[in-house]
Amino acid sequence: MIINKVLVKLYINKVHIVQPCTRIRKLDHRVVFYKFGNTLSPIPPSSFRGYLRHLARIVVSHTGNKYLNAYLSLFGSDIREYDPNIHLVSKEGKLIVSLSQGLNESDFKVGIRPGIRVNRTTGTTAKEALFFSEYVEIISKKPIVFNLEFKEPLSKEEEVLLAATLNLMKNGGTLGGWISKGMGLIRRIEVEPKDFLKKSLKLGGVLG
C-alpha cells in the first residue's frame, strides 16, 4: 500500500518554544503562535519537522548508518554528512509537515517564568543573568495535529525509518526548551494510519 500522508496527534502538557522579545526586564522571550484558520499552535510545523529530523538522526546512529540514505531522502541535506573535499549541493527532502488542527484560545494559557543565564564556559552565573520567558500550558488536553505528506512515494526504508522515528517519540519524547523545568514532555501520540507504527524496526535500548 502506498503511503501518501501520515497524521500525528501530539498530546503535550506544557511547551516552551520562544523568540527574543524587546520588552527587556518585563519579558525577554515570548511565545510566537502559528495560526491555522481560527486555531493556534505553540509548535510551528517547522519546529515539529526539526524535531522529527533530530529523532530520525538518533535512529540512524543506532543502526550504524544503515538508514542514512533514507534519512537524507526524507529530510534533505545534513551538514553532519558533508565531505569537505566535495562540492556541496543542498538537497531538499521529500517530507512536508503542515498543521492539520491547532488549539482554541480557551484550550491553553500562557504563563511567565523566571530563569537564570549560566556562562557555559565557566559554569557560573552570567552577567545580567535574570530573565523572564513565556511558556504555554495546554489545559484542555486536546492534541495538536500535524500532517506528514510526501513529494514522492516512500521507499520501504523510508517507511521503516519514519515509523521508528515516531515510535521513539511515542516512548517518552521531549520537545522544545526548559526540559529540566518540566516543559515539553510528550504524553502520547496517535498516528493514522493506525498500523503505520508496525513498520518500525526494533532497536534495543532505543525503541520498544
Domains assigned to the chain: 5-78+90-203 (3.30.70)
| The pLDDT of residue 87 | 46
With contact defined as beta carbons under 8 Å apart, do 91 and 151 qualify? no
pLDDT at res. 82: 53
**Grid coordinates representing 165?**
522515528
Contacts of 180 (CB under 8 A, 6+ apart): none
Three-state DSSP class for 97?
Answer: strand
E-only strand ranges, the chain:
5-12, 14-15, 18-20, 29-31, 34-36, 39-41, 95-101, 108-118, 125-138, 144-150, 186-192
Would you state the pLDDT for residue 185? 83
Q: Tell me the C-alpha distance between 190 and 168, whole Å.
A: 13
Predicted local distance difference test score (pLDDT) of residue 208 = 43
Q: Tell me the mean pLDDT per 10 residues along the chain, length 208.
A: 86 82 65 90 93 92 88 81 52 91 93 75 72 85 94 92 92 74 82 88 51
User: How far apart (Å, rounded) are the C-alpha atoms in residues 18 and 43?
Assistant: 10
